Amino acid sequence: MKKSLVMAGIVLSHLGVNAQSISAYKPDQTKPKAIAGMKLIWHDEFNSNGKPDPNYWQYEKGFVRNQETQWYQPDNATIKNGVLLIEGRKEAVKNPNYEPGSTDWRKNRAYSEYTSASIQTRGLKQWQFGRVEVRARIDSSLGSWPAIWTLGISKPWPSNGEVDLMEFYRVKGIPTILANVAWGTDKPYVAKWDEEKIPLAKFTARDKDWVKKFHVWRMDWDKDAIRLYLDDELLNTTLLAETINADGSNGFLQEHYLLLNLALGGNGGKPQKDLITYEVDYVRIYQKGD
């Protein structure tokens, strides 16, 4: 009996040490947790130094969307110290598509002002329904526009369906956390949005160190709804009965892929620093199962 109590104490002590070792200020080095009724179908812990695994991730390159400031390039995404580190740098890169006098924003700049990185799993890791958990730490400085999001594999945007587990930028000058879902309308490239915009001050009022810590953004997605969470707090619920495109299709009843990117400028505001960082600790995807 005494031996059993001693052994139990050792186990509890060991568990306590592990629990205490997960610091909100540092990457989580523990194994993915088990979730009752679900199985882990894919994860990337970003624990091997180097570049993102090409079996999982591919890069976006150049000036891509939203008339943003940054030039996307692979050099700005590196895995080190247990995180995927995406750096937004004040850096001039020559635009090979430059055309003097062009009205196309992708072509009328001879050089970029900033560089950054955007990686995605399209064609490599795609799934329909389940739980997505991404632990990350964001830079809340002016100009920062990090995101965790998914897109459907079929149909043009927005009829393919977009889920923003996390966006951070300034809304009317106010630093804001967003949790959004978008789908198609009867006008090409015009979306209908179910948006939640929460001022960052709501979170920093509770915890003055909020921006120094890692946080878990989560999507729970099934045939009925998409629910978006931040540190287990429900931010947004979108019913899939309401996400019907004009042609009757539903972009959330198909496989999606994941994107992680740090945009600069645009909604983020004009950057005031030479270096803006975005750290992703892990990506974990679960589906129903044993």
Kindly report, residue by residue over 172-219, the tens digit of the pLDDT: 999 999 999 999 999 999 999 999 999 999 999 999 999 999 999 999
Binned at pLDDT 50, 70 and 90, residue 268 comes out as confident
Cα R_g (the chain), whole angstroms: 20
pTM of the entire predicted model: 0.92
Q: Tell me the pLDDT tens digit for each residue of 39-96.
A: 999 999 999 999 999 999 999 999 999 999 999 999 999 999 999 999 999 999 999 9
At a CB cut-off of 8 Å and minimum separation 6, what does 98 contact? 107, 108, 109, 110
Q: What is the mean pLDDT of residues 131-156?
A: 98
Q: Tell me the pLDDT tens digit for each residue of 209-225.
A: 999 999 999 999 999 99
DSSP 3-state of 275 = strand
At a CB cut-off of 8 Å and minimum separation 6, what does 248 contact? none
DSSP 3-state of 212 = helix
Characterise 173 by phi-psi region: left (phi > 0), alpha (psi -120 to 50), beta (else): left
Give me the phi and psi of 95, to 5 degrees please. -90, 110
CATH topology of domain 41-288: Jelly Rolls (2.60.120)
Binned at pLDDT 50, 70 and 90, residue 3 comes out as very low
Q: What is the mean pLDDT of residues 97-117?
A: 96
Q: Is the pLDDT of residue 18 over 90?
A: no
Q: Is the pLDDT of residue 113 over 50?
A: yes
Structure tokens at 122: 């399209």
pLDDT of amino acid 290: 65
Binned at pLDDT 50, 70 and 90, residue 289 comes out as confident
Q: Is the pLDDT of residue 19 over 90?
A: no
What's the mean pLDDT when you consider all of the chain? 93
Domain boundaries, the chain: 41-288
DSSP 3-state of 165 = strand
pLDDT of amino acid 8: 43
Q: Is the pLDDT of residue 13 over 90?
A: no
